[in-house]
Amino acid sequence: MDIQRLKPHLPWITLVVLVAIVGFTDPGFLRPSNLLGLAGDIVPLFIMALGLTFAIYIGGIDLSAQSMANMVTVIASVYLASMGAWVAVFCVAAGFLLGMLSGYVTTRLFVPSFISTLAIGGVAFSIAQWLSGQRALNMDAVQRNETFGWMIGRTWGVPHELLIAAVLVAICLFIERRTTLGRALKAVGAGELAAAASGLNVARYKILAFAISGALAAIAGLLFAVKLSGGAPTIANGFLLPAIVAVLVGGTPLTGGVGGVVNTVVGTLIVAVIRASMLYFEIDATRQQMVFGIVLIVAIALTIDRAKLRTVK
């Protein structure tokens, strides 16, 4: 089967073809400054997608990522004044703990992950509304620049967001390729029952995967809050769909086990190019959601491993 051999290469072929099409019709698109700007803008989304990769890699899903990012924008805006740079640690810890909670509920209480993360997302949303008093908040501009200004500047034309993304990719790649945790996650994704039968503490690794997803969603929220210099309980709404799309078009299937961090990098770039091309071809921003919804269905249909699903529920 040729198509089967081609399948792992489809994501980057798609990316190259898309870039070629857009670059051909709009030469300005390929200017380095334009490409860098485009990549810089997509970084918060990318970080969220990076986290989701771990949840999807083990065959689960994290629908709380968006609420988590929302909550963190609020936490960051509220506590920046009193905690200074430590607020970043606090935010990431909050994301990590709530993610752990999702993982605990999923593995120990046998609640399917799409329900448990939806429920934890509801909790995060409540916290965000409570802390913000249901208003949009602003950070103190001077303090933001002093504490987190380094996150959003440019050095030699390279947006700093890209450097943050590169560091996170390196860390995640290290986890995926060079640690026992990465191996274990692959085993769980490839076949949970077999992993459990070979003596792996599946529950612990799954909880960790959800915790990583939560922590990265929190970092995405933090960066987003710094970029916008403020936060609100619904400010990051609209992130979840493209983030899931990024993971899936990158080639990590909903059934888990294959794909990974590098795939999500490619997937996010595909999402970025689709977005940019929609602007260029003057497709209304209001149609984006429809387009991404359809892309999502196509991506799942192409990538999902049907051999793993005995019955499709």
Interface with other proteins by CB under 8 A: which residues? 59-61, 105-107, 109-116, 118-123, 125-127, 129-130, 134, 192-193, 196, 202, 241, 254, 284, 286-294, 296-297, 300-301, 304, 306, 309, 311-313
- CB 197 to other proteins: min, Å: 11
Nearer to other proteins, 40 or 103 (CB): 103
- CB 170 to other proteins: min, Å: 29
CA distances from 256 to 115, 241, 248 (A): 18, 18, 10
CB 236, CB 69: distance < 8 Å: yes
Nearer to other proteins, 60 or 221 (CB): 60
Nearer to other proteins, 93 or 290 (CB): 290
CA distances from 236 to 73, 83, 148 (A): 8, 23, 19
Nearer to other proteins, 134 or 138 (CB): 134
CA–CA dist 244, 62 (Å, integer): 9
- CB 297 to other proteins: min, Å: 5
The count of residues in the chain is: 313
Who contacts 236 (Cβ-Cβ below 8 Å, separation ≥6)?
Answer: 44, 66, 69, 70, 73, 220, 221, 224
- CB 110 to other proteins: min, Å: 5
Query: Closest Cα partner for 70 from 111, 130, 112?
Result: 130
Nearer to other proteins, 224 or 292 (CB): 292
Nearer to other proteins, 106 or 147 (CB): 106
Only one residue has tokens 């359809």, namely 294
- CB 268 to other proteins: min, Å: 18
- CB 205 to other proteins: min, Å: 13
Nearer to other proteins, 90 or 114 (CB): 114
| Paired strand residues for 158 | 155
Helix, strand, or coil (residue 53):
helix
Cα dihedral 158, 161, 167, 173 sign: negative
- CB 265 to other proteins: min, Å: 22
CA–CA dist 181, 204 (Å, integer): 10
